[in-house]
Amino acid sequence: MTTTDAPGPRGLPVIGNSHQWARDPCAFRERCAAEYGPVVNYEMLGWDTYMLTDPADVKRVLEDPDTFPKHEPSNAQLEAFVGNGLLTSGGDLWERQREAIQPAFYMDHIRNYAERMVAQAAATADRWTAGESVDVRRAMTRCTLDILVDCLFGQEIDPAERGLYEAVEAFQAPLEPSKQPITFFAPDWAPVPFLRRADRALSHIDDQIYDIVETRRADEADRDDLVAMLIAADTAMDDEQIRDELVTFLFAGHETTALSMTYVWDLLSRNPTAQRRLHEELDALLDGRPTIEDVFDFEYTGAVIEEAMRLYPPAHDIRRSPATTVEIGGYTIPEGSLVTLPTWVLHRDERFWDDPEQFRPGRFLDGGRSDRPEYAYFPFGGGPRRCIGQQFAMTEAQLILATIASEWTLEREYGDLELSAAVTLQPSHDVAMTPHRRD
């Protein structure tokens, strides 16, 4: 029998459960799932929230975007930063944009990108000196931004020359966990320094993108990168829509891979057995720098990345909102409420993972993918809105890992890895590591 009241933790007047959620969103969700089951109701930031942790329910939500579109208040917050691009748009616009952009991520294009991915990964490591500390997160962020700009914007675009490193960093600062409450609740007139810097950075990024688009429209060269696809006559996009798509990729197209690689290096440094097995595979397969053909032969290398994304999914929480009142798990979920699909919780659920807190890449080998429900693991989302860049990101991550790990090991300079959950799951401190050349 359907009941309107899903179980959940009792909140406080006015603020509901926001104070519990804000302390540690991931731990709060884990506690809720353990105590109340696969459908949990709580109030977060004024939103009537329903958390789902049954993979069948996750599948239902993600594979039916008409019934479960994006949560408009959450989406509006993100749209204020990146515009109405593929990440935030919906309906017919989203379908047109997805169709226009998808070819940039077909495998034949990714093959052409592979050599550039390896070159940028090698350039990253070439800036290191053995024994001298490196902020690995910053290094991976620059590496993946270089790859994104090189592959999708065009090889002639120099991020340093155009001031994109500093601008992207300032642009993303308001979405850092420590700054997010101010970002979303400060009035527009408040003179918040990091918000003013972000506004100036976004204006600079806009200027650069419009300049790139104007130059490309006058360029008759035959190109096959993302910019060329967006300005092609048959896509019928105006410059503002092109701008929104390119800003979206600047925001979402490099950070998640940079975070995944940061967690890979941390996990390998704490797990010498896994690191040794990775090196054995790379030493057996590689003759010099890796190529796209090597990616098809990688087994453990890919498993290392998949396991890192299981333990530390950058997209730790996916949000949707029912367009009509629905029944899920025996409970009524009201129209317009927030439905949250906590990747973090399902990726660490003992129902689907033995010793879920342990880093064990082998669980993704030898048929290990087939012995669990489909949506017990969904680092790239699912359904029609599954991340368009999944294959690009997995290829990129494997080539970065293979390029660097074949020559270097990284030793941590900190204790436990501390995390903060905002739009993405981020380290709450510098990830300082010491590089050592392999013997």
Domains of the chain: 18-437 (1.10.630.10)
Closest C-alpha to 129, from 439, 397, 438, 434: 434
Q: DSSP strand E in 304-431: where?
A: 318-320, 326-328, 331-333, 338-341, 408-412, 419-421, 425-427
Q: 115 burial class (0-12, 13-18, 19+ CB within 10 angstroms)?
A: middle
Which 3 state secondary structure label does DSSP give 331? Answer: strand
Per DSSP, the residues of 208-259 read HHHHHHHHHHT--S---SHHHHHHSGGG---HHHHHHHHHHHHHHHHHHHHH
CA distance 42 to 46: 10
Which 3 state secondary structure label does DSSP give 327? Answer: strand
Pairing state of beta strands 432-437 and 408-412? antiparallel
Question: What is the residue-level pLDDT of the chain in tens, covering all 439 positions?
Answer: 456 789 999 988 878 888 888 788 999 999 999 999 999 999 988 899 999 999 999 999 999 999 999 988 878 877 877 888 888 888 888 898 898 888 889 998 899 999 999 999 999 999 999 999 999 999 999 999 999 999 988 878 889 899 988 988 888 777 776 676 676 667 777 788 888 898 898 899 999 999 988 888 887 777 778 888 888 866 668 889 989 999 888 888 899 999 999 999 999 999 999 999 999 999 999 999 999 999 999 999 999 999 999 999 999 999 999 999 999 999 999 999 999 999 999 999 999 999 999 999 999 997 666 678 999 999 999 999 999 999 999 999 999 999 999 999 999 999 999 998 888 999 999 999 999 999 7
CA distance 179 to 423: 11
What is residue 150's DSSP assignment?
Answer: I
384 in Cβ contact with 63 (< 8 Å): yes
Crossing angle of helices 107-126/136-148, nearest 10°? Answer: 140
105 in Cβ contact with 268 (< 8 Å): no
CA distance 388 to 379: 12
Residue 131 to residues 79, 134, 267, 312, 408, Cα–Cα distance (Å):
42, 9, 19, 27, 11
Give the residue ranges of DSSP H helices in 334-381. Answer: 343-347
Read off φ and ψ for residue 298, nearest 5 degrees. Answer: -65, 135
Closest C-alpha to 400, from 115, 118, 130: 118
CA distance 343 to 113: 29
The half-sphere exposure of 228 on its side-chain side, counting CA atoms within 13 A, is 14
**Neighbour count for residue 203 (Cβ, 10 Å):** 12
399 in Cβ contact with 97 (< 8 Å): no
Rounded to two decimals, what is the model's pTM?
A: 0.93
